[in-house]
Chains A and B, each alone.
Chain A
Amino acid sequence: GAVVSQHPSRVICKSGTSVKIECRSLDFQATTMFWYRQFPKQSLMLMATSNEGSKATYEQGVEKDKFLINHASLTLSTLTVTSAHPEDSSFYICSVSYGRSTYEQYFGPGTRLTVT
C-alpha cells in the first residue's frame, strides 16, 4: 500500500481565520487525491476529488469557495478552510489513488480541526 502523510495532525484556530492542511503521497505519484470529512461517530463523506494540474471536483453541498483545494504536484494536495467557523470543526482525511488497473484508495492519518 501507499504511505500518505498529513500535516498538521491537529490544529486549533479562531473563528474567522483560515487553515491549510497538507496531504503528501510519500512513495508514489498519485494521479488523484481525495478529501473526506468525518464527524464524530459518523462515517467518511467525500468533499472533493482533485487531479494534478486541474480544478477540483466538489461534491454536492460542499462550498468550493470555502474549502479551497490545490493539487500542485503528483505528491502534494492542500485543503484550505477559509473563514473557519465552529461548525467546520471535524476530522479531515485525504486519500490517494494511482489509477492504472487498481482502484484502491490509501488514506492519510487525518487532521483534527477545532475552531473556537
Chain B
Amino acid sequence: EDQVTQSPEALRLQEGESSSLNCSYTVSGLRGLFWYRQDPGKGPEFLFTLYSAGEEKEKERLKATLTKKESFLHITAPKPEDSATYLCAVQEAGGTSYGKLTFGQGTILTVHP
C-alpha cells in the first residue's frame, strides 16, 4: 500500500526566512509525485508534478525536488501570502485504481510579516 508522510506537520516562519518541507513516500512504482497548495475552505491548487529522481521544478518562490524516497518543497524568502497547507501526493504506476492519488497529511505553513 502506498504511503506518504509529510513533515513537519506545521511550520511557522518569519517573512524572508527560507525553509523546506519534506515528503517521504513508499510506492511500488512511481508514476508521479504531486505538490498542491490548499487554502482554508478551498480545493487544492496544483503546483508541480515530478516524475523521476533528480528532477527539479520551480515556480516563483517555490522549488520542488525529487529523490527515490522523498521530495522537498523549498520556499525561498516566503511572504505572508504563501501561508497555506501544502499537500504532497503520489500516483502509482499501473495499479488497480487508475490515476489514484494518495495524499500525505499536509504541512501547515504560516508566514508572519
Binding site for B on A (CB under 8 A): 1, 4, 6, 32, 34, 42-46, 49, 57, 59, 91, 93, 95, 97, 99, 102-110, 112
By beta carbon, the residue of chain B nearest A105 is B101
A107 touches B98 (CB 8 A): no
List the B side residues contacting A91 at CB < 8 Å. Answer: 41
Q: How many residues of B contact A (CB 8 A)?
A: 24
The total number of A-B Cβ pairs within 8 Å is 65
Question: Are the C-beta atoms of B100 and A49 separated by less than 8 Å?
Answer: yes
Residues A44 and B34 in contact in the complex (CB < 8 Å), given A103-B49, A107-B44, A109-B43:
no
Chain B residues with a Cβ under 8 A of chain A: 31-32, 34, 36, 41-46, 49, 87, 89, 91, 97-106
Determine whether the beta carbon of B87 is less than 8 Å from that of A44. yes
A110 near B99: Cβ-Cβ < 8 Å:
no
Which residues does chain A contribute within 8 Å of B49, judged by CB atoms? 102-104
